[in-house]
Amino acid sequence: MKHIILALAGLALAVGPACAQQASAPAGNVENGKTLYLQVGCYQCHGRAGQGAQMTGPRVSRTEFPFESFLFQLRHPVNQMPPYEAAVLSDQDAADLYAYVRQMPAPRDPKSIPLLNGTR
């Protein structure tokens, strides 16, 4: 019984800060995020609609990453993405970008695109 209580206490300590950080994500300005998306070059790899491409970068539209993960990826990218350090892109600018990509339209169903289905 004592082990279960200690395990639950450890879980609460581990999850608690993550939940608090999630709730404390700064509010973002979608319009500034859209400007930044174009200005800092996100569109060059992720596409103007955030759709991504296999050879350049993943889809970012409607991202489901929590803000902290999004910010970490910006600051310490995986693969060939350039790092956007705080001197280049502030945390508030990152929050604006995050707000913008979160509200982008969902990708269209490929079946709804005539050219992809052999019809015109």
Per-position pLDDT tens, the chain of length 120 = 444 443 433 434 444 444 444 455 689 999 999 999 999 999 999 999 999 999 999 999 999 999 999 999 999 998 889 999 999 999 999 999 999 999 999 888 888 888 888 876
Q: pLDDT at position 7, please? A: 40
Q: For position 118, what pLDDT does the model report?
A: 81
Q: Confirm whether pTM is higher than 0.85.
A: no
Query: What's the CATH code of the domain at 61?
Result: 1.10.760.10
Return all residues near 44 (Cβ < 8 A) that are at least 6 apart: 56
Q: What is the pLDDT of residue 88?
A: 93
Structural domain tally of the chain? 1
In a domain, 95, yes or no: yes
Q: Is residue 48 in a domain? A: yes
Task: Kindly list the distances between the CA atom of residue 43 and the CA atoms of 35, 56, 91, 97, in Å, as whole numbers in the listed order.
Answer: 11, 10, 19, 12
In a domain, 52, yes or no: yes
Report in angstroms the alpha-carbon separations of 60 from 6, 11, 64, 103.
39, 31, 9, 10
Cα–Cα distance for residue pair 38/50, rounded to 1 Å: 11
Give a yes or no: residue 72 inside a domain: yes
- What are residue 57's DSSP bridge partners? 53
Domain contains 11: no
Asked if the structure places residue 116 within a domain, the reply is: no
Quick check: is 29 in a domain? no
Place of tokens 């269209």: 108
* 3-state helix, strand and coil shares in percent for the chain, rounded to the nearest 5: 55, 0, 45
Which domain covers residue 90, as residue numbers?
A: 34-107
* C-alpha to C-alpha distance for 103 and 31, rounded to whole angstroms: 11
pLDDT for res 119 = 75
